[in-house]
Amino acid sequence: MTLMLLVLALFGACIGSFTNVVVWRLPRQESPIWPGSHCPSCGHPVRWHDNVPVLGWLLLRGRCRDCTAAISARYPIVEAFSGFLWLSALIPALRSSNTLLITLLMGLVLVSLLLPLVLIDLDHLWLPEPICRAGVISGVLATALLAWGGGSERPESVLLNHLIASAAGLLVMEGLSALAERLLGQPALGLGDAKLAAMAGAWLGLGGLGISMALAVFSGAAVGTLGRWTGRLGPRQPFPFGPFIAFGIWMTWLMGAPWWWQRWLALMGGT
């Protein structure tokens, strides 16, 4: 088990390193594959031993080996956080003993798609359609794999539920966006949020979609209220909603929609 944890954390940090590249290049319409990693200040290629996640930054003391330009601490933070997220993917996998490996692999795919979406939305208020589309497709494939591989009694019903949820997430969010724009006179939700909601439906189904969006709304409202109360956000200043949807998706994937529903009933005084 210790070896598995170490391998997950290591590979997760490596994916976090690639995520940093995607987050930097995709908004600039650059290929995340070619050319290889290089210093944005001097353009010199990063040596392989300087590209080791977290450790490379620490050994370089946060500066380029060639031009000594500062390297943001965000790089190792993202790498370490990605490693932590990969470790957290074990939570639902260990609950699904008969589909442990499938559930783990699918969770790793999901979180590796969510992380760049969150970071790009925080930086640019933009959720790239290619990643959202890949998220929807992979969610449908993951659902099919888990439904048939897990021995569900009616796997076709499970798949249909997730397809309907994906379409519902897209249409409902687009409808809310149009309604909010009509009422407020300015966009309140981006179309990227609708596509991320479609991704939520593809991965989580109708019940999971409802739970994840509820978590997104509550967490987004709490952060937005705090931001306006402290003056960090202006009265009509937009802020990204994608990170909160991603948070809701991942929390629902980790604990399962029934677990969250039970917590909600307990909070409301039910049984």
pLDDT at res. 21: 95
> pLDDT digit string (tens) for 181-209?
777 666 667 778 999 999 999 999 999 99
Among 89-98, 149-158, 238-247, 248-257, which stretch is predicted with the lowest mean pLDDT? 149-158
Q: Which residue has the higher pLDDT, 43 or 113?
A: 113
| Two structure tokens written together for 164 | 């309907």
What distance in Å separates the CA atoms of residue 160 and residue 163, rounded to the nearest whole number?
5
pLDDT at res. 269: 73
* 70 φ/ψ angles, rounded to the nearest 5 degrees: -65, 140
Contacts with 76 (C-beta within 8 Å, 6 or more apart), sequence order? 53, 54, 57, 58
Question: Which of 4-18, 136-150, 168-182 is the most confident on average?
Answer: 4-18
Average pLDDT score over the chain: 91
The 3-state DSSP class for residue 47 equals coil
What distance in Å separates the CA atoms of residue 26 and residue 29, rounded to the nearest whole number?
5
The 3-state DSSP class for residue 70 equals strand
Are 243 and 122 spatial neighbours (Cβ–Cβ below 8 Å)? yes
Among 22-31, 173-182, 207-216, which stretch is predicted with the lowest mean pLDDT? 173-182
> pLDDT digit string (tens) for 96-106?
877 889 999 99
Q: Is the pLDDT reported for residue 1 higher than 80?
A: no
| Two structure tokens written together for 196 | 């991320």
* 147 φ/ψ angles, rounded to the nearest 5 degrees: -65, -50
- Domain ranges in the chain? 11-82, 89-271
